[in-house]
């Protein structure tokens, strides 16, 4: 039975009844279906199809989906009634054939499911590779994203004391009319604040709660100017006046940028009010007018009716697990004894905090070159200041235009503000790079490098605002929009992904204030590039690989590193962009500019650096490929561990020698094909359907990876077709070798290091507390320590003590203080050993002795600065000694329990 609705008599039900009777009988295939045509189908299915206003082709296609794939599927996977399963089949067929006439809300009402339940059901029914097409999956994802964003906005909306049905309806109308991207959480929330300001200032201050009542200005609503009857029709409508104080209060409560909200108000919101004829309105807008206009918009989009949030309709209720993640409004402590319990952040609060942190990090940075950068520019052979300024200005215009096209009308101002933030980060990182490495004089002339660096800075800004998401994957249909997610920025600047890849690692190392989540996001961008984007048909990577193969291994500057060795490189960010063709070595006929040294990056050395870059990408690719293969293998073939090195050998051979198979394809497609091929020749029962089913449950995967694979130019099909027509045909000889008595030698397993981005030193702000936990190494006590292990332990403790002293603000004036720490730690270990061996007890820690210039000193006999240091060292050493003694006693009791 469908879930019982909490609400009754909603406006939506009336519309639903009217629409069910309004279908006009068309002739031909698209006529309203009749029971006579579909006698071969279940009567209940045909009846449901009539209720959903399905056409004849939709009904036939939905029944084929049901009979071919859904009817025989595991009943434990889907336990819902038949009517709901049939409804899902009809939805899939309707989306594929563009034949749905009902809205999504009307559809859900008839099948009796909520938004989340229905989306979950459709995805569970994707039992085969082609059950749900990329087109249907894209539509589902759009609906889910829009629902999640609208739910987050509504939950934030109801936390306000004043809840007006007309204000929520106006917001939905404004969002749907003027925002191209309705699932942009930040801009939609800023628009919501504008709507709240519009309504709050029209209420009597006494009806508003604090702090809004104090924020409403008495002069906000000025009386309309009188015009003569002759000029009344020609008079322009006055734009609404913004109550700055009220808007600032709303922004302050949500940690939202006031400047950005003002920009949204003056452009998008005012344009919306003018379009609906509310610009000159002095009172509250009529709810009937707003509701009617939203009704038209909602039926045009055929999605869900977000007004049902107001009546707590179950169709829009989130899952219980999602409700638990939502932060409720924290109550202020009424007494000092109350302890504030930390609660998880809402999506809006998390987004606003990230944006605020980014703005704080860039507070002291300008969107123009700093004085230090100007000095660097002037030291170049040719001052590139004007060239860089023009390039940034041109790219800014392109960015702002594309931003407005993606987000919506009148959003150029927001795009300009985000670009300015990106320009600030761009100049900041450039200056950091120039300080940290010695770059040659041509650094500032490398156009591709500067475009990549600016694109990386903008990606950090966009990911902070939009969220760390990724757009269209390789091979996706053209109907899939990428919005502002990566790799949107590459498309805006027409920048090859391989060139963007070159700057990521240097960018992260050069920006110490970059947050951990942004570092992870850029690392994910690197993965997306290596798995698919760098392998597009027009990628410069193929030319580099071809060039390396033509030169041969004998031309390389150094032997390539093995897979089991870490890869070290000393190339700078600029070196990766210098072309050995465009940068010939200096000769006698071409003298160097006065005051400059010979360029180290001449043609030959640059080629060597490009070879090392090729190796860097190659080995990163190998390691990532092996990790993905190992993860998929652990879910499918744990009973056949001997197959893992064989599958890896085939995959590594493919990537190294048959890299053309990666052109316009995805790394995971080769992984799944290699796994299936080896299982085939080794007579291991593993179906491709099983591989695909397991793969789609793994994180960070996209079903289009196995549903839409390039077969030949302009032709796409499933991964099974790719395996049969392309992969197997290309590698048949190599694959069959593994079934012979003398298989080819196995490739070494790649060494899997930690992320290179975690190796850079991390700053410890002085305001943060540092917690040092006891060393969990084990049962090794000072009694059994060797001299080498005891020395290592002393070094570790010395390092911890130094970190603690630095974190609490202690400074070191000379190297003597470090010597004190080493001697103290060594003497403490030795004294503890003597005591455990039965020797004399150590002297009290308050009389720690340090040999400084031949004099013995005790605490209190030195100057105030060093006495504080010695006292802190003594306290920490004493605590450490007691902890060691206590641990030894506990271990002794465990090993020799009392009878």
Give pLDDT, residue 810.
Answer: 47
**Helix axes 667-681 and 728-736, enclosed angle (nearest 10):** 40
> Which of these ranges, 94-98, 364-368, 441-445, 452-456, has the smallest mean pLDDT?
441-445
**Count of helices and strands (H, E) across the chain:** 35, 4
Model pTM above 0.85: no
Between 880 and 208, whose confidence is greater? 880
Distances in whole angstroms, Cα of residue 161 to Cα of each of 308, 331, 557, 851, 867: 19, 14, 70, 69, 57
**Is the preceding peptide bond at 487 cis, omega within 30 degrees of 0?**
yes
Distances in whole angstroms, Cα of residue 639 to Cα of each of 672, 685, 795: 18, 12, 45
Distance CA 257, CA 417 (A): 11
Handedness of CA 360, 362, 365, 366 (dihedral sign): negative
Between 449 and 789, whose confidence is greater? 449
Distance CA 248, CA 80 (A): 49
> Which of these ranges, 210-224, 364-378, 646-660, has the smallest mean pLDDT?
210-224
- For 566-679, strand residue ranges (E) read none
Q: All domains of the chain, ordered by start, with CATH?
A: 143-323 (1.10.472.140), 362-534 (1.10.472.10), 609-739 (1.10.472.10)
Residues 6 or more apart in contact with residue 279 via CB below 8 angstroms: 237, 238, 239, 240, 270, 273
Query: According to the per-residue pLDDT averaged within each range, which of 235-239, 523-527, 562-566, 777-781 is highest?
Result: 523-527
Query: According to the per-residue pLDDT averaged within each range, which of 281-290, 326-335, 390-399, 571-580 is highest?
Result: 390-399
Query: According to the per-residue pLDDT averaged within each range, which of 74-78, 203-207, 509-513, 769-773 is highest?
Result: 509-513
| pLDDT for 633 beyond 90 | yes
Parallel/antiparallel/unpaired status of strands 709-712 and 715-717: antiparallel
Task: State the Cα angle at 304 between 298 and 305, rounded to 5°.
Answer: 65
SS (H, E, C) 654-669: HHHHCHHHHCCCCHHH
pLDDT band at residue 648 using 50, 70 and 90 as cut-offs? very high
Average pLDDT of the residues in 541-555: 69
| pLDDT for 579 beyond 80 | no
Task: State the Cα angle at 708 between 100 and 625, rounded to 5°.
Answer: 140
pLDDT digits (tens, 9 = 90+) for 264-290: 999 999 999 999 888 877 788 888 899
pLDDT digits (tens, 9 = 90+) for 589-609: 333 333 444 433 344 455 555
Give pLDDT, residue 202.
Answer: 80
pLDDT digits (tens, 9 = 90+) for 291-333: 999 999 999 988 999 999 988 898 998 865 444 444 444 444 4
| pLDDT for 2 beyond 60 | no
Between 479 and 737, whose confidence is greater? 737
| pLDDT for 535 beyond 80 | yes
Residue carrying the six token digits 């991390």:
762
Query: According to the per-residue pLDDT averaged within each range, which of 66-70, 162-166, 332-336, 730-734 is highest?
Result: 730-734
| pLDDT for 683 beyond 90 | yes
Question: To the nearest 5 percent, what fractions of the chain are helix, strand and coil?
Answer: 60, 0, 40
Distance CA 493, CA 772 (A): 46
In 3-state terms, what secondary structure has residue 898? coil
Distance CA 193, CA 379 (A): 49
Distance CA 383, CA 376 (A): 9
Average pLDDT of the residues in 847-851: 35
- What Rg, from alpha-carbon coordinates, does the chain have? 34
SS (H, E, C) 856-871: EECCCCCCHHHHHHHH
Convert 394-422 to b/e letters by CB count within 10 Å (16 or more is b). Answer: ebbeebbebbbebbbbbbbbbbbbbbbbb
Phi/psi for 590 (5° steps) reads -125, 80
- Cα 55 versus chain centre, distance: 41
Distance CA 191, CA 157 (A): 12
Average pLDDT of the residues in 871-897: 66
pLDDT band at residue 133 using 50, 70 and 90 as cut-offs? confident
Distance CA 56, CA 177 (A): 33
Distance CA 358, CA 421 (A): 9
Distance CA 632, CA 827 (A): 53
Average pLDDT of the residues in 363-369: 91
**Is the preceding peptide bond at 211 cis, omega within 30 degrees of 0?**
yes
Dihedral over alpha carbons 162, 168, 169, 171 (to 10 degrees)? 130
Residue 675 near residue 691 (C-beta atoms within 8 A): yes
Residue 143 near residue 303 (C-beta atoms within 8 A): yes
Convert 851-876 to b/e letters by CB count within 10 Å (16 or more is b). Answer: eeeeeebebeebeeebeebbeebbeb
Distance CA 125, CA 262 (A): 46
Give pLDDT, residue 542.
Answer: 87
Residue 608 near residue 554 (C-beta atoms within 8 A): no
pLDDT band at residue 746 using 50, 70 and 90 as cut-offs? very high
Give pLDDT, residue 382.
Answer: 83
Residue carrying the six token digits 């850029």:
522
Average pLDDT of the residues in 344-358: 86
Distances in whole angstroms, Cα of residue 256 to Cα of each of 196, 251, 513: 14, 5, 21
| pLDDT for 135 beyond 80 | yes
Residue 193 near residue 311 (C-beta atoms within 8 A): no
Give pLDDT, residue 476.
Answer: 42
pLDDT band at residue 556 using 50, 70 and 90 as cut-offs? very low
Closest-CA residue to 349 (of 246, 254, 253): 254
Distance CA 253, CA 357 (A): 16
Distance CA 242, CA 264 (A): 12
Give pLDDT, residue 214.
Answer: 54
Instruction: Report the share of the chain in percent with pLDDT over 70.
Output: 61
pLDDT digits (tens, 9 = 90+) for 68-106: 877 766 555 566 788 898 999 999 999 998 888 889 999
User: Average pLDDT of the chain?
Assistant: 74
Quote the tokens at residue 320: 């219980």
SS (H, E, C) 784-834: CCCHHHHHHHHHHHHHHHHHHHHHCCCCCCCCHHHHHHHHHHHHHHHHHHH
Environment class of 248 (CB within 10 Å of its CB; exposed 0-12, middle 13-18, buried 19+): middle
Phi/psi for 851 (5° steps) reads -90, 100
Distance CA 27, CA 175 (A): 38
Residues 6 or more apart in contact with residue 839 via CB below 8 angstroms: none
């Amino acid at each position: 039975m469908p879930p019982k609705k909490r609400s009754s008599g909603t406006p939506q039900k009336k519309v639903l009844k009217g629409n069910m009777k309004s279908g006009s009988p068309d002739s031909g295939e698209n006529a309203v279906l009749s029971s006579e045509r579909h006698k071969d189908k279940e009567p209940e299915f045909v009846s449901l199809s009539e209720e959903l206003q399905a056409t004849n082709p939709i009904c036939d296609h939905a029944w084929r989906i049901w009979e071919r794939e859904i009817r025989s599927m595991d009943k434990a996977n889907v336990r819902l009634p038949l009517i709901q399963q049939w409804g899902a089949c009809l939805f899939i067929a309707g989306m594929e054939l563009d034949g749905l006439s009902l809205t999504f809300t009307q559809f859900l009402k008839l099948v009796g499911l909520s938004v989340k339940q229905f989306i979950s059901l459709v995805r569970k029914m994707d039992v085969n590779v082609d059950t749900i097409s990329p087109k249907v999956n894209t539509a589902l994802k759009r609906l889910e994203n829009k629902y999640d964003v609208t739910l987050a906005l509504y939950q934030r909306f109801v936390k306000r004391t004043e809840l007006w049905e007309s204000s929520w309806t106006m917001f939905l109308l404004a969002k749907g009319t003027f925002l191209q991207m309705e699932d942009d959480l930040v801009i939609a929330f800023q628009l919501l604040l504008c709507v709240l300001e519009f309504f709050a200032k029209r209420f009597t201050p006494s009806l508003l709660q604090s702090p809004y009542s104090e924020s409403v200005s008495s002069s906000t609503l000025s009386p309309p100017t009188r015009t003569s009857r002759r000029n009344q029709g020609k008079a322009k409508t006055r734009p609404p006046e913004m109550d700055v104080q009220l808007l600032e209060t709303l922004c302050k409560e949500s940690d939202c940028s006031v400047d950005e909200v003002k920009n949204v108000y003056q452009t998008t919101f005012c344009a919306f009010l003018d379009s609906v004829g509310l610009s000159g309105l002095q009172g509250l807008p009529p709810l009937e007018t707003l509701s009617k206009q939203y009704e038209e918009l909602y039926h045009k989009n055929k999605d869900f009716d977000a007004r049902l949030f107001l009546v707590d309709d179950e169709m829009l209720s989130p899952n219980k697990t999602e409700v638990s993640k939502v932060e409720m409004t924290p109550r202020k402590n009424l007494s000092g004894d109350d302890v504030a319990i930390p609660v998880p952040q809402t999506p809006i609060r998390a987004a606003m905090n990230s944006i605020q942190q980014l703005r704080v990090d860039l507070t002291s940075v300008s969107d123009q070159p700093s004085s230090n950068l100007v000095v660097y520019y002037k030291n170049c052979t040719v001052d590139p200041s004007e060239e860089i300024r023009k390039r940034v200005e041109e790219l800014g215009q392109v960015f702002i235009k594309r931003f407005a096209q993606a987000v919506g009308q009148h959003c150029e101002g927001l795009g300009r503000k985000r670009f300015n933030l990106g320009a600030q980060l761009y100049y900041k990182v450039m200056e950091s790079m120039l300080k940290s490495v010695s770059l040659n004089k041509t650094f500032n002339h490398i156009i591709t490098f500067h475009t990549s660096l600016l694109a990386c800075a903008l990606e950090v800004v966009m990911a902070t605002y939009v969220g760390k998401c990724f757009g269209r994957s390789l091979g996706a249909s053209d109907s899939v929009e990428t919005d502002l997610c990566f790799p949107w920025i590459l498309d805006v600047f027409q920048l090859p992904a391989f060139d963007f890849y070159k700057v990521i690692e240097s960018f992260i190392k050069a920006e110490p204030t970059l947050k951990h989540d942004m570092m992870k996001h850029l690392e994910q961008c690197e993965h997306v590039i290596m798995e698919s984007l760098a392998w597009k048909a027009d990628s410069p990577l193929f030319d580099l690989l071809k060039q390396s193969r033509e030169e041969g291994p004998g031309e390389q500057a150094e032997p390539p590193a093995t897979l089991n060795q870490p890869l070290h490189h000393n190339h700078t960010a600029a070196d990766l962009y210098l072309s050995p063709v465009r940068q010939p070595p200096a000769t006698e006929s071409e003298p160097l500019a006065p005051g400059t040294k010979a360029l180290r990056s001449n043609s030959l050395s640059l080629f060597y650096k490009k070879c090392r870059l090729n190796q860097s990408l190659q080995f990163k690719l190998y390691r990532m490929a092996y990790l993905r293969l190992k993860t998929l293998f652990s879910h499918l073939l744990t009973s056949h561990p001997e197959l893992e090195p064989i599958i890896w050998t085939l995959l590594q051979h493919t990537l190294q020698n048959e890299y053309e198979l990666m052109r316009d394809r995805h790394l995971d497609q080769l992984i799944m094909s290699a796994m299936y091929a080896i299982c085939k020749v080794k007579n291991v029962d593993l179906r491709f359907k099983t591989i695909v089913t397991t793969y789609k449950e793994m994180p960070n995967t996209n079903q289009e990876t196995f549903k839409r694979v390039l077969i030949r130019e302009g032709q796409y099909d499933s991964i099974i077709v790719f395996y049969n027509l392309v992969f197997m045909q290309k590698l048949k000889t190599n694959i069959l070798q593994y079934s012979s008595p003398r298989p080819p030698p196995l490739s070494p397993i790649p060494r899997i290091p930690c992320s290179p981005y975690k190796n850079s030193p991390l700053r410890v702000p002085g305001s943060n507390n540092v917690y040092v936990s006891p060393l969990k190494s084990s049962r090794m006590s000072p009694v059994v320590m060797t001299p080498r292990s005891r020395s290592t332990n002393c070094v570790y403790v010395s390092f911890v003590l130094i970190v603690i002293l630095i974190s609490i603000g202690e400074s070191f004036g000379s190297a003597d203080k470090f010597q004190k720490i080493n001697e103290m730690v060594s003497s403490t270990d030795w004294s503890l050993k003597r005591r455990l061996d039965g020797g004399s007890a150590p002297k009290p820690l308050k009389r720690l002795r340090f040999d400084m210039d031949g004099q013995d000193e005790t605490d209190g006999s030195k100057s105030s600065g060093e006495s504080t240091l010695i006292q802190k060292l003594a306290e920490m050493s004493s605590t450490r000694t007691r902890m060691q003694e206590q641990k030894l006693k506990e271990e002794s009791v465990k090993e020799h329990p009392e009878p």
